[in-house]
Structure 1
């Protein structure tokens, strides 16, 4: 691991902020690193306010989108809410369809089949709408590049509204309205909404016409917070406000579907991290292993007994997903070794029988092992489909664009993307992708980085310090949990390896009369670095450990040296 210590912010700015807020200089320094230098900015950060949610009509085409939906409702048209099969897509469909059902009974939902239709808007979905007398489709979390499909729908007399957050291509589809803050001609002040966030702006716009306020649409923010966490969008600006209030909804009055999924979870207060690791994989498992509509049905169900049945089915899909992901990861690692590809700049692997629903997770696992841009391919009909994952700082979307001569279609973000290509193009593409990455990647990016916010001493970790630190949450890109470093530590003598295969390290570290418990997940191999009174330095975050009803502060080790 490469440790980098953040540059110290301007000392006079830090001291001034510490004085104004009556906090210590470490807290003030962390705030200044996040661009928070005044009392007003600190207030916005620590007390996210509904007043900081932007007017939805600042988004280009919002007037057209709301007008067309209201016309459809007034005219008794059938409306279809269409979204992708991942967490962002299914939560978006659940959000908009459940809101529209408060205004009309003629609302259908549609999630494309991952295996038969693939990602995004499909001809099959448009044909289904035509066969069922649906004249308006609202697509969420997809559609920004679906030029031909929107034209095909138009020929069949179907209007489209697109709500997307992916980067547009050179042309914008000829839909009734295209809501996407990343459009070059859109002046919406916050560009980093997820698909479900754009869907929320749409219901916020519709709510204004119903004489409803922001408070009336707050219950939908549990879905938005889940999508924000799962889609790894920055938790800054408006996203921070949406996530903050979404977590409040989940923790005080969660929807029935969440209650069913969380019935076995013992945690009192859920964080964004819990949504990412507890809720999101279960929602995703439906689309990966069976069909994304199962997730939508659970998220919109209002009867707890039925929701519990749906949740049990999804739990089973999730278990199957874990098994598939473990087996395919082992096969992929074996393939890399067999082909002697450990020293490349990229990982590109293919096996025609790999489960299409888990190749994205496998790509993430391989990135953890070899830490380089990674693509996992499988057979999908007559084509090959792949999921791409990247490493911190490297834009895999741009790298794919440079290989577009071999690709049939692709889409996604800087760190995650998907693509399809002809089987005969696989080897030329693999070669070109390696060439592009090796020529453009900064070699430092191939070593995992731990970015350290501040160097502190153990005696500075007090309950008051942690109480303020807790208010930095919700954490995510753009506002990660602060990472600290302390040097000159040693173990009190109780250090041991714990967990399956003794993968994790548990110890109690001390320095100058102060001792504190520590846990290091996947740091079992570092056990020999702390034995026999050796001194070491640790990089860590701080959290609470609850044991037998007792709550104490502990260090969550990221690395030790």
Structure 2
């Protein structure tokens, strides 16, 4: 790992903020690193307020979208809520449909089949709407590039409202309204909402016209927080507020579907990380292994007995997903070594039998192993479909754009994308992608970076320091859990490799005469020779809590160690 200590901040700024807030200088540094320089900004950061959410009508086309939905209700039209099959899409559909159904019955949902229809708005979905007399489709987490599909719907006298957060192309679909803060002409102050976040702004606008306040919408924020975590959008600004209050709902008053999921795993008091790794994969597993409808059904269910049945089915989908993910990752790693492609700038692998529902996870696993832009392909009907993942600092979306002559369709973000192409173009695409990345990537990006917030001593880690640190949560992109560096550490003699396959490291460290701390390093078993041989070493870590038999102690979760 490349250890990168964040740039130093002027002593004047540190002293000024430390004095204004009456806080430790290390806490002041952490705040300044987040752009917080005043008492008011700190108050806003530590005490997120629903009053600081932006007016939804600042979003381009919001007025038109609200008017069209109100007209549909007035004319007793049937409304179809359409969303993608991943966490962001299914939570969006659950959010929009359950809100509208509180006062209007003619609402149904549609999730495309991952294998039959693929990502985004589909002709089959539009035909379903036409055959069942839906005259308005509200598309969530997709649609901003569906120019031909929206035109097809218009021919069938079906109107579209699009709520998306992906980057638009050069042309927007001719929908009634396109709500997307990433539109060039959209003046909405916060650009990093997820799809469910854009959907929430639409129900916020609808609610305001019905005399409701933000307090009336709190119960929907568990869905928004889940989408924010799972879709890896920045947890800053408006997302931080929505995630903060959404976590409160999950922990204090979870919807029935969440209660059923959490009964399966026996977990309480969730952090955003728990949401990402416990709730997110289970919601995703439905669309990956069976159908996204199962996730929506669970999320809107109000009968706990029915919810438990749906949750147990989804638990099985998740187990199947884990097994497929493990097997395909192993096969992909073998393919890379057998084709002698370990030294390339990219990873591009293909097998027609790989499960389409897990290739995105496999791409992430391969990126962790070789740390380079990665694409995993499988057969999808007459075409090949792929999931792309990138490394920090490299825009894989732009790289794919450079290869568009060989791509049939693609979309996504800087770090994750999806695409389809014809099998005849696979080899040419693979060569072109390697060429584009090799010419444009900074070689240092091919080694994982560990951003270190600041160097501290073990003596600085006090219960008070940790209590304040906890208030920096929820953590995520744009507000990462601080990584600390401490030098001159020594194991007390109890260090060892742990875990079923002995791949993890557990040491008890001290620095001079300071208090001792237990430190756990997942996947750091190969560092045993540094940590467990009486050597002095330095460690990069985050501060965690470890609960054992009712007692909670602070521990260090190691990110890396060096001599």
Shorter-chain TM band: over 0.9
Partner residue in 2 for 1:73: 73
| 2-structure distance, mates of 1:287, 1:264 | 19
The corresponding residue for 2:311 is: 311
**For each residue in 1:451-470, what CA deviation from the matched residue of structure 2 results, as whole angstroms up to 9, or x when unmatched?**
00000000000000000000
Structure 2: distance between partners of 1:110 and 1:528: 55
SS of corresponding position for 2:314: helix
Task: Please give the secondary structure, in 2, of the residue aligned with 1:545.
Answer: strand
Contact preservation (8 Å) 2:262, 2:268: no
Q: What is the aligned partner in structure 2 of residue 510 from structure 1?
A: 510
Aligned partner of 2:473 in structure 1 is 473
Partner of 1:450: 450
Dislocated runs of 4+, deviation >4 Å: none
**Matches of 1:160 and 1:268 in 2, distance apart?**
40
- Other-structure match for 2:526: 525
Instruction: Name the structure 1 match of 2:152.
Output: 152
Structure 2 partner of 1:338: 338
1:321-354 C-alpha deviation (Å, 9 max, x unpaired): 0000000000000000010000000000000010
**Two-structure CA RMSD over aligned residues (Å):** 0.6
Between the aligned partners of 1:347 and 1:531, the Cα distance in structure 2 is 35
What do residues 440-496 of structure 1 show as CA deviations (whole Å, max 9, x unaligned)?
000000000100000000000000000000000000000000000001101011111
Of 510-519 and 157-166, deviating more is 510-519
Indicate the residue corresponding to 2:280 in structure 1: 280
- Where does residue 142 of structure 2 map in the other structure? 142
Q: Deviation per CA, 1:152-184: give whole Å up to 9, x if none.
A: 000001000000000000001000000000000
1:26 aligns with 26
Pairs within 5 Å for 1:386-465: 386-465=386-465
Partner of 1:102: 102
Q: What is the distance in 2 between the residues matched to 1:491 and 1:184?
A: 55
Alpha-carbon deviations, 1:419-459, whole Å to 9, x = none? 00000000000000000000000000000010000000000
Give the Cα separation in 2 of the matches to 1:57 and 1:477: 27
2:539 matched residue in structure 1: 538
Taking the TM superposition and a 5 Å limit, the aligned residue runs for 1:257-406 are 257-406=257-406
Alpha-carbon distance in structure 2 between the residues aligned to 1:264 and 1:550:
24
What is the CA distance between 1:530 and its match in structure 2? 1.2
Q: How far did residue 267 of structure 1 move?
A: 3.5
Shift of 1:265: 3.2
Q: Aligned partners of 1:457, 1:16: CA distance in 2, in Å?
A: 23
Does 2:559 correspond to 1:551?
Answer: no
Give the match's secondary structure for 2:135: strand
> How far apart in 1 are the matches of 2:329 and 2:300?
33
Using the size of structure 2 for normalisation, the TM-score is 0.99
Bigger CA drift: 6-15 or 439-448? 6-15
Correspondence for 1:237: 237
| C-alpha distance in 2 between matches for 1:506 and 1:264 | 29
Matches within 5 A, 1:98-247: 98-247=98-247
* Range with bigger deviation, 6-15 or 127-136: 6-15
1:501 is paired with a residue whose SS is coil
Which structure 1 segments of 5+ residues have no match? Answer: none
Task: Give the structure 1 partner of residue 86 of structure 2.
Answer: 86
1:262 match: secondary structure: helix
TM-score normalised by the chain length of structure 1:
1.00
**For residues 512-549 of structure 1, what are the alpha-carbon distances to aligned partners after superposition, in whole Å with 9 as ceiling and x for unaligned?**
22211111111111111112311110000001100011
Q: Secondary structure of 1:184's match?
A: coil
Give how far 1:264 is off: 3.1
Q: Name the CA distance, whole Å, in 2 between partners of 1:418 and 1:100.
A: 31
Give the superposition deviation at 1:230: 0.3
Aligned length: 561
Partner-residue secondary structure (3-state), 2:557:
strand
8 Å contact kept, 2:496–2:532: no
Asked if structure 2 preserves the Cα contact closer than 8 Å seen for 1:229 and 1:273, the reply is yes
Residues 73 and 103 of structure 1 are in contact (CA less than 8 Å); yes or no, is this contact kept in structure 2? no
How far apart, in 1, do the equivalents of 2:464 and 2:291 lie? 47
CA distance in 2: counterparts of 1:310 and 1:229, whole angstroms: 23
Q: Distance in 2 between matches of 1:550 and 1:265?
A: 21
2: CA distance, partners of 1:507 / 1:254: 37
Per-residue CA shift, 1:259-297, capped at 9, x if unaligned?
A: 000013344311000000000000000000000000000
SS of the residue 1:157 aligns to: coil
Residue pairs, 1:10-49, within 5 angstroms:
10-49=10-49
Secondary structure at 2:517 match in 1: strand
- The DSSP-based 3-state class of the residue aligned with 1:500 is coil
Structure 2 residue runs without a partner (length 5+) = none
CA contact (8 A) 1:377 1:384 kept: yes
Q: Secondary structure at the match of 1:173?
A: coil
**2: distance between equivalents of 1:199 and 1:50?**
17
